[in-house]
Amino acid sequence: MTSRPPRSATPAAPALAEDSLAHALATAARLIADVVAGGNLTEALAALWSARPATPPGVRGAILDLTYGTLRDYGRQDFILAKLLQKPLPEPVQSLLRVALHRLDSRADTAHTIVDQAVTAAATLLGGKFKGVVNGVLRNALRQSADLNRAADADMVAEFRHPPWWIRRLRSQYPDDWRAILMAGNTHPPMALRINRRRAAVGDVLSAFAAADLPVRELDNGALLLDRPVPVARLPGFAEGLVSVQDAGAQHAARYLDLADGQRVLDACAAPGGKTSHILESADVDLVALDADAFRARRVSENLARLGLSAQVSAADCRKVSQWWDGRPFQRILADVPCSASGVVRRNPDIKWLRRSDDVARFAAQQAEILDALWQVLAPGGKMLYVTCSVFAEENREQIAAFAARHPDCCCLPIGGQPDCQYLPSTEHDGFFYALLEKAV
């Protein structure tokens, strides 16, 4: 009698064509499941591309579009799924449903294909035992779409796609703008460029982009705003260091620092180096760039090398002054401090899943430590520019008010005729806060 091979406890998952929607749905579902479990999306993506280095650009783009789009829709899919399921399904099947619902919302004209491909993707997850459930849930979602969307629009979290504490905080701090801030956080971010004016003239760059059929327009601060985002490989002059990708809101920093040739300048939290390089493009200064993470500090050096710039780059915690300072004071300090990143959430949509309300106070405490440490190394008469990519007052105006109260030798200088500058996220730029502090002589 011929013996049969032993039966596997879990049937082998069918292979998915790499360029199929099913493959993109399944991969995005696994990434989102990792975020739901508390993982960082940037790290998860780095691990994915490291494991699949040959992934074609089009496949990467499809995966990223589904992952980021689903995370920007945080809250809405779970509201709808709660109406269709008695209890959540195991991960990553629950996240597959999230991704599929996002796709159905954005591409309703291809609903049949989306459902079919989601079921195909489900066959590769958890032994395929939830294929039927995925099929039934998505078909019910389509049949009940009008009622489900009506109910979602009446729910605070499902409508604004942010956690309740986030919504309440913004509503309290921005009674006139909170809706616009939340809605901006759910959109695709703009793509802006900075011209390296040591290497290129504005007119030449604009001509090169016109020849490449990449429409751009110059903003008031000199940033170039692309009509549509494109891969950096398509940017004329990028490889040659003529242009860099940098949000238009971030490009105010070098100007607000009030730089002059010959100054000694510290960029205290420098990675990945966008503002560092902008400073060096703007003035001939002696610049020290620090970052607490050695890997991120290497990224600063790599960015400077591409642009033909140089600085003293060190991996060091700026709060531990005795470990890195040589005793020579700085005339200018850029303190682009760690923060909640609430002003750039559309670029990092996993933040909405991962942040908690008490994280804001934790960031504020760290920011205060950084400010107090850096004040020691600022020369009398010198200026420090405090920057966050946050829209929360605890990290911004309240932080600066508390610092000024602790340091009588601090004078808050106006920016553009205002005590400080809070940029809210818009179609042109992300959310940033700037405050300029001068140390008394």
Write out the catalytic residue numbers: 389
Percent of the chain with pLDDT over 90: 97
pLDDT, average across residues 237-246: 96
Phi, psi (degrees; rounded to nearest 5) at 409: -90, 15
- Sketch out the chain's domains with CATH numbers: 21-160 (1.10.940.10), 191-246 (3.30.70.1170), 248-439 (3.40.50.150)
Residue 15 pLDDT level (bands cut at 50, 70, 90): confident
Report whether pLDDT(230) > 80. Answer: yes
Tens of pLDDT along 243-254? 999 999 999 999
* Mean pLDDT score across all residues of the chain: 95
What does the pLDDT read at residue 1?
35
Task: Write down the pTM of the prediction.
Answer: 0.93
What does the pLDDT read at residue 13?
52
Tens of pLDDT along 260-270? 999 999 999 99
Tens of pLDDT along 377-418? 999 999 999 999 999 999 999 999 999 999 999 999 999 999
Report whether pLDDT(31) > 80. Answer: yes
Report whether pLDDT(7) > 70. Answer: no
Report whether pLDDT(2) > 80. Answer: no
pLDDT, average across residues 342-366: 96
pLDDT, average across residues 214-242: 96
pLDDT, average across residues 63-78: 96
Report whether pLDDT(73) > 50. Answer: yes
What does the pLDDT read at residue 11?
43
Tens of pLDDT along 87-141? 999 999 999 999 999 999 999 999 999 999 999 999 999 999 999 999 999 999 9
Report whether pLDDT(10) > 60. Answer: no
